[in-house]
Amino acid sequence: MADHVSDHPFDDALTDDEAAIVDDASRFAADVIEPMAEAWERERRFAAEAFAALGPAGLTGLLVPTELGGRGAGPVALARVLEELAAADLAAAFSAVVHNNMARAVATSGNEGLIADLLPRLLSGETLGAFLLTEPEVGSDAAAIGCLAERDGDEWVITGRKAWVTNASHAGALNLYAQSDPSAGHRGIVSIVVDPEAPGVTRTEPYELLGANAMGTGGFEFDGVRAPVADTLVPVGQAFAAAMVGIDLARILVGAMCCGLLRRSLEVALAATADRHVFGAPVADKQGVQWMLADVATDLEATRLLTYRAARQLQEGLDATVMAAHAKKQAARVTQTRVADCMQVMGATGYRRDAPTIPGGNPLPRHLAAAKVTGYIDGATEIQNVVIARRLWAPATGRP
């Protein structure tokens, strides 16, 4: 990493190529995301400008092997990329990683036809990908999905609904998880690539969220939709396991995005308190302010340690399920509180989006609203407790 200059404590785990990817992400965050993020949130719209620039910036195939045109990044490098992007805007970062995950799925699980036709469009940014697992009646119980895919010759016939789909408003290719045999439980689940413009597909209106509206979150309804069996991405019997393998990485990446929110919030608060004077002295001289921001710094370091330890375990092929749960739980729990603390030490200025003393505006209100969603995405905080508790009692119960 001779040419890479960074004070991030985990960049020593990156190769030179991965360090270059992180540098690309940092520039992308500053040049593309930061100038537009407030407008996306204010106008409650998808970050279309960011996605249009994602392909040319080389950030659409981060998990795709280099021999297929991707960049072959490992979990640690991907976490660093997400930390950089989320420091500018969590919604744009999450949208990007969902797209990257679909490109990875097609590259690693797709047949020759999907790799030849769909993968190049995902890598160029011509087509936006989306992941459809959650359903309105199911929530976090992914094994209980009810969207039905019935085999009819060389086609699947799909009926059901999907909810909480990131990129839903603009997605051009859907990675749909459906149940092919309800009597088989999770073993009957199949993953199919579906065209959102196919007859019978209805794209619902985007949700109006508290924050992170740039993700374009919404839902889909399927009424007798026909999809070629050739577009099966992960076959029956393997799809649920494939989704669960990816969930560990997804939870680690939420932790990394929280690190980005915390880091940026701390930077803004430090600058604001150094410049502002009250009662004849800089706000930064007040011990109460110093201690609040010291606590933010401690939680940032603790969250990074858990997050990047989990990323390293995953990268080394070790079981990272519990460590990923610890990382996501810690990250979601502290980020909401600590972003709010950073706003508090800035006085009323911290509450103002268009704060005139902050160049480019104040990102902290946007970050605070986005921090709330981290407690839900990729498994609610309570689900992380379930994962952790199961492992705690495993020796006594004999269950894994």
> What is the pLDDT, as a whole number, of residue 140?
65
Domain 131-237, CATH class in plain words: mainly beta
Range scoring the smallest mean pLDDT among 125-139, 189-203, 254-268, 351-365: 351-365
- Average pLDDT for 118-129: 97
Q: How confident is the model at residue 5 (pLDDT cuts 50, 70, 90)?
A: very low
Q: 4 pLDDT exceeds 50?
A: no
> What is the pLDDT, as a whole number, of residue 246?
84
Q: 19 pLDDT exceeds 80?
A: yes
Q: What is the pLDDT of residues 284-301, one digit of tens each?
A: 888 888 999 999 999 999
Domain 11-127, CATH class in plain words: mainly alpha
Best mean pLDDT range from 6-20, 169-183, 237-251, 347-361: 169-183
Distance CA 11, CA 164 (A): 33
> What is the pLDDT, as a whole number, of residue 1?
32
> What is the pLDDT, as a whole number, of residue 138?
75
**Boundaries of every domain in the chain:** 11-127, 131-237, 246-397
> What is the pLDDT, as a whole number, of residue 8?
82
Domain 246-397 has CATH 2.30.30.830: no
Percent of the chain predicted with pLDDT > 70: 97
Q: 358 pLDDT exceeds 80?
A: no
> What is the pLDDT, as a whole number, of residue 400?
66
- Average pLDDT for 99-126: 95
Q: 38 pLDDT exceeds 80?
A: yes
Q: What is the pLDDT of residues 73-104, one digit of tens each?
A: 999 999 999 999 999 999 999 999 999 999 99
In Å, how far are 122, 130, 175, 359 from 118, measured between CA atoms? Answer: 6, 13, 12, 41
> What is the pLDDT, as a whole number, of residue 41?
94
Q: What is the pLDDT of residues 339-355, one digit of tens each?
A: 999 999 998 888 888 87
